[in-house]
Amino acid sequence: MDKGVNKVVIIGSGPAGWTAAIYAARANLDPVVYVGVPKQDPGPVLPGGQLMLTTEVENFPGFPHGVQGPEMMALFRSQAERFKTRVIEDDIVRCDFSTTPFTLHPGEGPTIRAHSVIIATGAVANWLGLPNEMRLASSGGGVSACAVCDGALPMFRGAEVAVVGGGDTAMEEAAYLTKFAGTVHMIHRRDSFRASKIMQERLLSRPNVKVHWNKTVVDVLGGEKCEGVVLEDTITKARSNLAVTGLFIAIGHTPATKFLKDSGIELLDTGYVALKCRKSTTNIPGVFAAGDVADAEYRQAITAAGMGCQAALDAERWLAAQGVH
């Protein structure tokens, strides 16, 4: 093995990245994890991924009484570090996969070389970009970008909640919320949804759904908790208040793959990393991907962790085939 070349470098520090690190470290692959640095994009993006903006996590096995998102990520990191994972507080901003070993360029530190790489940078929820929206999302004040993650929490049961969006994701999120909320207010900036007809019919058949056409949210009301939203009519520009205690943003996600530009990694039209044969392998041998950066469908902590396990096992087997132990 070349001196100074890492066996595996993991980019990203959400459930996928830390799980990959735990498996790789226990396999004596001496993984290095680039956890990233905080940034605004337009909402907060933190090392640890979207769980850093989640308060109570009740659907991850092993936590019968729930766990705070940041606490869970701290536990994941602690477990990875227990097995001697090396952690670097920096971003990878550019990758050169044209030759092996691969060369990765951090934002601040020196370049690093690797025999294999696991991409686990996740995806960022698209937010409206309103100051109160971001404040309440960060503090657990009733604003969320994942109804499946948060919709069953006691604070939303029997409550008036709103969903912003008009695509299939918004229909799925709203339909899920109808099981718990008193009324689900759909807020859409146009006079028709862009979601598939069957998804629309499924949602609109629910008795506790109310649609607000040609409306946008221009402010979120409330101090410590969401108390309502300010709606603006897209045609008349008239404004009105809607009293809700929960606001769910369902306008899509953006995978964190900008740093892969010109790297040779195949991306889907949506920007997600393309995987081969239902595994973690990409189009470049030795480069693997896991979690929300390659998963536009499930986007759950538990599925991301499972994909992190797959990526580490695939990397271990690939390295062994190359004679790297």
Can you list the residues of the chain whose pLDDT is less than 70?
A: 1-3, 41-44
Residues of the chain with CATH 3.50.50.60: 6-124+253-321, 127-249
The pLDDT value given to residue 132: 95
Alpha helices in 1-122 (DSSP H): 15-26, 69-82
Q: How far apart are CA 199 and CA 270, in angstroms?
A: 21
Describe the crossing of helices 15-26 and 301-321 by its angle, rounded to 10 degrees: 40
The pLDDT value given to residue 212: 98
Nearest C-alpha neighbor of 162 from the set 244, 57, 262: 244
Note the CATH architecture for domain 6-124+253-321.
3-Layer(bba) Sandwich (3.50)
Q: How far apart are CA 225 and CA 137, in angstroms?
A: 10
Q: What DSSP line would sit under 61-90, residue for residue?
A: TT-TT-EEHHHHHHHHHHHHHHTT-EEE-S
With beta carbons less than 8 A apart as the criterion, state whether 221 and 228 touch.
yes
Prediction pTM value: 0.84
The pLDDT value given to residue 54: 74
Q: How far apart are CA 57 and CA 324, in angstroms?
A: 39
Q: pLDDT tens across 140-160, in order?
A: 899 999 998 899 999 999 999
Output the CATH code of domain 127-249: 3.50.50.60
Residues catalogued as catalytic: 146, 149-150
The pLDDT value given to residue 148: 86
